Structure 1
Amino acid sequence: MPDICVAICTCDRPAGLESLLDGLARQQGGLRFQVVVVDNGTLSAQGVALERAAAGALSLTYVRLQERGLVAARNRSLALARESGAPWIACLDDDEVPSETWLSALLARARETGADLVYGPVLPDFEVSPPRWAVAGGFFVKTGEIACSSNLLLRTAVLGEDPRDWYQPAFGAIGGEDREFLARLERGGARAATAADALVREHVPAARLRLGYMFQRGLRDGYAEVTLLRQASKAPARLGLSALGVAAKKSGFLLYHLVSSLASSAHFASALADLGTICGIAMCLSGHRRRFYGASGDPAGDDGAAAAACAPLSDRARP
């Protein structure tokens, strides 16, 4: 029985998956781990996955999933990982590469704290030299203080028996599914901790280093906010008031960042994201449907979880 099963979802990123698997093959610490790869892209990544398995570098299971969408892939990967019998499940996105001590650092922190969920930091690996605003604003850095599935160790025992209670289909086209799922686990009693030395690097393509991407990211967050509120309350009046409250708060941030943008371009980027969130809230409330994941026309090619769509843990009691 493995100590950990690493669950990976991939969608039309064969080069990214290859780098990720190479990073897993270099893991140190003597842990016994298996890898499951769930692929629901338009192009099969089976060749990349099986090449690593045939070389003996990894104990790997590859599954081709016809159902599109990130939620379907995530739930299938968790189900396969649970079937492995491993007491722990580690999650990565297919545009990330783990450090050589990634798994051992996550597991050591879990054992040290008794946590059920352990998050690690994700640092950017820019495809091109980034503009000043992208670095100054820290928009592509995840410190491990947010609940994300992009660098996660999960105790298998905290999963419910029914996969329909895991990642929710309502978030399949917009993102934020990890924010809702992990917050729900914590409300159910799961304890969380951060492993500062469990480092992962994320590939950031040039398309994300444009100011227009910040607006699109904010737009997606607006849709995610309304969907989260809709999951919590079915009453239309209460949903509308809560969403307006979020929009009002974002409006305050927008004004602050606009004034501050006179001194820093990073504040202007933040203002665009705030404006996008306000627009996303309004569009979602009005019934305008939009797909951010799984669409071939996605200009950012962003099939992974973004920091802006993750839940802050500032109010969490940490071990």
Structure 2
Amino acid sequence: MASIDICICTFRRPFLTETLRSVARLDAGGHDVRVIVADNDETPSARKRVQGMLDEMPFATTYLHAPAANICIARNACLDAASGDFLAFIDDDETVSEGWLLALLDKARSEKASAVLGPVRAIYPPEAPDWMTEGDFHSTLPVYVNGTIRTGYTCNVLMRWHAPLRGLRFDTRLGRSGGEDTDFFYRLRAMGGTIAYAPDAVVAEPVTAQRATMAWLVQRRLRFGQTHGMLMSGSRFRAMPKVAAKIAYCGAMTGLTVLSPVARRRNWLRAMLHIGVASSLLGHRTAEHYGQPTAS
């Protein structure tokens, strides 16, 4: 039997209650599970919410106050508190499926992976536009490059928590702009770690009205691109012609697919990604997105 710490970072989000209720319904397979909630607000605003859930939790649950408004501070507080053989991260606006944890653990063992990612399935509200639900622009899946997953995300992941990985921490300089998880998993890979994918380890994330817009998707892709540009190795100026060519290609494809609501937007978002890369290569500062008030 393994010991597993499930870590949830939170910032003023009432949906945390639903997240914890889904964790309470997990099939843990007899493993020793502990839940760690790290509250990133200036004041311990989530403390009462967590304490109110303790009677429903079948697992030991620890509350940490890890201020303030920098997600890396909360994530690092989870890493400092973790003592299990494995450590998992999910977000405070998600719910996990009953077999989520065992699916991640089985894949970690079968592939001897350092980290295992699972899919985050977007749940769209009835009023979401047809192009958005058809294109499923909000779900999160790993990206393969030449058959290999090179980086990861913290919205659905299980990691082996042993040396030398225990020394890894999230870069607090990225804790308000985003990209800290991408950077973390790049460094995990650089230390010899491997990343696998467990398609059955499903997590669901409702898409809020604030996020169900093209403007939000554009900002998200720009940020992803800025993170990628920041982490690129080699000469930045040497990379610019290739990035510019990708922008031009995606722009052209946007025009060619103008009659397709899904394909047009998908191509435009790819262009935004590469524009974000170019922005980072040119030294533009990444905007801060984390730490703003959130809605349920």
The list of structure 1 runs, each at least 4 consecutive aligned residues, that deviate by more than 6 angstroms after superposition, is none
Deviation at 1:279, TM superposition (A): 4.5
| Structure 1 segment 71-86 matched on structure 2, within 5 A | 71-81=72-82, 84=83, 86=84
Deviation at 1:157, TM superposition (A): 1.2
Q: Map Cα deviations across residues 11-39 of structure 1 (whole Å, 9 max, x no partner).
A: 1112x211111011101123220011101
| Structure 1 segment 58-69 matched on structure 2, within 5 A | 58-69=59-70
Q: How many residues get paired?
A: 285
Once residues 252 and 187 of structure 1 are traced to their aligned partners in structure 2, the CA distance between those partners, rounded to angstroms, is 31
- Indicate the percent of aligned positions where both proteins have the same amino acid: 31
* 8 Å CA contact retained: 1:247, 1:277: no
Say whether 1:250 aligns with 2:251: no
Once residues 272 and 289 of structure 1 are traced to their aligned partners in structure 2, the CA distance between those partners, rounded to angstroms, is 20
* 8 Å CA contact retained: 2:42, 2:67: no
Deviation at 1:248, TM superposition (A): 3.0
* 8 Å CA contact retained: 1:144, 1:196: no
Provide the residue aligned with 1:306 in structure 2: none
Once residues 159 and 122 of structure 1 are traced to their aligned partners in structure 2, the CA distance between those partners, rounded to angstroms, is 28
Provide the residue aligned with 1:149 in structure 2: 154
Once residues 42 and 261 of structure 1 are traced to their aligned partners in structure 2, the CA distance between those partners, rounded to angstroms, is 46
Say whether 1:3 aligns with 2:8: no
Once residues 291 and 259 of structure 1 are traced to their aligned partners in structure 2, the CA distance between those partners, rounded to angstroms, is 34
Deviation at 1:200, TM superposition (A): 0.6
Once residues 240 and 228 of structure 2 are traced to their aligned partners in structure 1, the CA distance between those partners, rounded to angstroms, is 8
* 8 Å CA contact retained: 1:106, 1:195: yes
Say whether 1:191 aligns with 2:190: no
Taking a change above 3 Å as real, the CA distance of residues 152 and 288 of structure 1, as seen in their structure-2 partners, is: closer
1:87 corresponds to which letter in structure 2? Answer: D
Once residues 46 and 110 of structure 1 are traced to their aligned partners in structure 2, the CA distance between those partners, rounded to angstroms, is 32
Provide the residue aligned with 2:292 in structure 1: 295
Q: Map Cα deviations across residues 56-77 of structure 1 (whole Å, 9 max, x no partner).
A: 5331110111232112211111
2:216 corresponds to which letter in structure 1? Answer: Y
Say whether 1:90 aligns with 2:88: yes
* 8 Å CA contact retained: 1:217, 1:273: no
Provide the residue aligned with 2:263 in structure 1: 267
Deviation at 1:129, TM superposition (A): 3.4
* 8 Å CA contact retained: 1:158, 1:185: no
Q: Map Cα deviations across residues 90-137 of structure 1 (whole Å, 9 max, x no partner).
A: 110111100011111111121222112111111112234322221232
* 8 Å CA contact retained: 2:122, 2:136: no
| Structure 1 segment 24-39 matched on structure 2, within 5 A | 24-28=23-27, 29-39=29-39
Once residues 161 and 243 of structure 1 are traced to their aligned partners in structure 2, the CA distance between those partners, rounded to angstroms, is 36
Once residues 41 and 195 of structure 1 are traced to their aligned partners in structure 2, the CA distance between those partners, rounded to angstroms, is 32
* 8 Å CA contact retained: 1:214, 1:272: no
Provide the residue aligned with 2:273 in structure 1: 277
* 8 Å CA contact retained: 1:3, 1:87: yes
Deviation at 1:175, TM superposition (A): 1.5
Structure showing the higher helix proportion among its residues = 1
Provide the residue aligned with 1:46 in structure 2: 47
* 8 Å CA contact retained: 2:177, 2:289: yes
Once residues 137 and 20 of structure 2 are traced to their aligned partners in structure 1, the CA distance between those partners, rounded to angstroms, is 26
Q: Which runs of 5+ in 2 are unaligned?
A: 144-148
Please give the root-mean-square deviation of Cα atoms over the aligned residues, in Å: 2.4
Once residues 186 and 103 of structure 2 are traced to their aligned partners in structure 1, the CA distance between those partners, rounded to angstroms, is 23
* 8 Å CA contact retained: 1:171, 1:227: no
Q: TM-score, normalised by structure 1?
A: 0.80
Taking a change above 3 Å as real, the CA distance of residues 2 and 278 of structure 1, as seen in their structure-2 partners, is: closer
Q: Which runs of 5+ in 1 are unaligned?
A: 303-319
